[in-house]
Structure 1
Amino acid sequence: MITSKMSKLNLVQFDKKDIPGLIELSESVGWDYDKHEIGTIMSSGKVFGHKNTEGEIVSSAAIIPYEASFASIGMVIVNKEYRGMGLGKEATQQCMNSLTSDIAVMLISTEDGKPLYEKMGFKIVGRVHKYICDTYSSSNLTNRTVTIEHFNENDLHKIIELDEAAFGDKRSNFLKHRINQSEECLVVKDNIGDIIGFGLSIIGPINLIIGPIVAPDAQIASLILNKLATEHQGKLRIDIPSGNGVFMEAVEKWGFVNVSNPPIMMFNSTKMPQRNGELFGIAAQVFG
């Protein structure tokens, strides 16, 4: 039966006309990709996967290459009726084949997917902490040494610079698309007007996704999160890299619950890219 199904499948690169089918695939496994999120993924990278003879999308995997020596894989999904056929591995391998051989590749795995990625040569190098909040308990946080303002186009260069130091690679193209997608983009300025941090929020079909958050310390990261979250009515989500214990303690006080700690896995490297410790919330797991 598996051989019969497999012979009827085509591995393809998807484009924007495939977005409705990718949303349907995402919904089938309880994930919350929408047309805006998939649009940003496609504008920043490539999405591969399989279609059956009826044109139904039955698998996907996305690759987001950044500007130096680093890329991120995500959105690895297989329709439950087509599992056990190696489709996830084939789509993921196609993502990796689209890169030069010297690029380090990161992905944030589900626990179920971890054995597959280990067989492909990925190594666990850390974890992220997925936090969900049903009802946000706002705080009257203040810091007289900084001001928080809405983004304007003149801020983009500095945001790209701060993100590069915090994330570990330059990702200008992605950030331009992510800011355009955002519900809100805030910058933090010090008392002489220099930008020292920023944060974004993204409206999804289930959650307001908060991230990336880049800040010089946990207190300023908390100010950014509070400003982005306070007026939202509904669920919130933030994914926080390991090593941010003080910040995680703060978000838990405001109603966030740690629901999972998925592993960060790397190929072509045994460690994360060099980071300065100022990344308090990632953009989304697909973007690393």
Structure 2
Amino acid sequence: MADVIQRSLTLDDIPDLMALSKEVNWPDYNAEELTSLLTNGSFTGFTTATGQVISCAGIFQYDKVASIGAVIVSETHRGLGLARKMIDTLLRQSDQSAPVVLTATVQGRPVYEKIGFHTIGFIHTYKAQKTNPLALQMSDKIHLSPADETHLPSIEALDEKGAGTNRSSFLKKRMERASFRLIAQNEHHETIGFAFGVETPANLLIGPLAANDEQTALALIQSLISSYPGAIRLDMQEETAERLHTSLIEAGFTKTNAAHFMMIRGNEKQNDPALLYFLASQAFS
């Protein structure tokens, strides 16, 4: 351990973090997405004696819960306990009265369990290289339009039900980051759903998405995949996956993973299971 130094990470570290992400084959983390991560959260990491970043982890503190993500350790420095030290540091920095959640990789789960995290559910990932939007049946009673800052109060209210915490500051920044922003309203002009689409080098990440019912969720998805010719990624709570799975498969998606959703300082998920919800990303929850 004498040859590594732990410190806070900043925007100046983005070139090293891009190289680290590339090493572990996380193509979503380009400079723009890393900037979003670093400006929305607090990051710690280890560097070599010469200053090269060889690990990172971030925490995103919301109103009632915090989320840990972007946990990476270079293959050259695994087995030294760096992940454990980073997570311990982030937990000390967090609100001690609030639960902390994370989506675990296969490699990370044993480390998190030793720290005290336990599984409270699963995050299902769906991907598509080519989609079939016409497979999704739409309702003519749902009106979709571009979302802007005037819609933020209703977006925040829906997101709070889906994420289990108020994330007003994060949502404003994420809206600015998103290439696609949609709001769904019913025939009475009431907001019943919203979705953001964020472009990364690997795909269009649809999320957060929140919808009161399946038809609204599918209308938002259809609009976004119709507007984007490339690969698509969705990360969602298991309750949402159960309700949308058949439609997503028909639209060209494949379920590629079901990762453990873990928590410490709490025992139950904070979200409303009746709401259909896609994560902003596995890091942000």
* 2:109 alignment partner in structure 1: 114
- Taking structure 1 as reference, are residues 232 and 274 closer, same or farther at Cα in structure 2, changes over 3 Å only? closer
Please, which of 57, 79, 92 is the counterpart of residue 87 of structure 2?
92
* 2:257 alignment partner in structure 1: 260
Matches of 1:274 and 1:234, distance apart in 2: 30
Which residue identity is paired with 2:282? Q
* 2:267 alignment partner in structure 1: 270
Moved over 4 A (4+): none
Matches of 1:198 and 1:63, distance apart in 2: 25
Matches of 2:69 and 2:107, distance apart in 1: 14
* 1:180 alignment partner in structure 2: 176
**How far is 1:274 from its partner?**
4.1
3-state SS of the aligned residue for 1:48? Answer: strand
3-state SS of the aligned residue for 2:80? Answer: coil
- Share of identical aligned residues, percent? 29
Conservation of the 8 A alpha-carbon contact between 2:8 and 2:43? yes
**How far is 1:279 from its partner?**
3.5
**How far is 1:124 from its partner?**
0.3
Matches of 1:173 and 1:254, distance apart in 2: 33
Please, which of 11, 25, 44 is the counterpart of residue 30 of structure 1?
25
Matches of 2:148 and 2:268, distance apart in 1: 35
1:223 is aligned to 2:223: no
Q: CA RMSD in A?
A: 1.2
1:53 is aligned to 2:49: yes
Q: Superposed, which structure 2 residues align to 1:126-275 within 5 Å?
A: 126-139=121-134, 141-244=137-240, 245-275=242-272
Matches of 2:221 and 2:95, distance apart in 1: 37
| TM-score normalised by length of structure 2 | 0.96
Aligned residues: 282
Conservation of the 8 A alpha-carbon contact between 1:167 and 1:279? no
**How far is 1:276 from its partner?**
4.6
Conservation of the 8 A alpha-carbon contact between 2:149 and 2:172? no
* 1:102 alignment partner in structure 2: 97
Conservation of the 8 A alpha-carbon contact between 1:219 and 1:247? no
Mean Cα displacement is larger for which, 209-218 or 137-146? Answer: 137-146
**How far is 1:259 from its partner?**
0.9
Post-superposition CA distance 1:89-126 (Å, at most 9, x none): 11111111111321200000011211110000000000
Conservation of the 8 A alpha-carbon contact between 1:128 and 1:262? yes
Unaligned segments of structure 2, at least 5 residues: none
Matches of 1:63 and 1:172, distance apart in 2: 17
| TM-score normalised by length of structure 1 | 0.95
* 1:75 alignment partner in structure 2: 70
Matches of 2:23 and 2:17, distance apart in 1: 10
Matches of 1:200 and 1:233, distance apart in 2: 16
Matches of 1:264 and 1:223, distance apart in 2: 27
Which residue identity is paired with 1:76? V
**How far is 1:280 from its partner?**
2.6
Conservation of the 8 A alpha-carbon contact between 1:59 and 1:87? yes
Unaligned segments of structure 1, at least 5 residues: 1-5
* 2:3 alignment partner in structure 1: 8
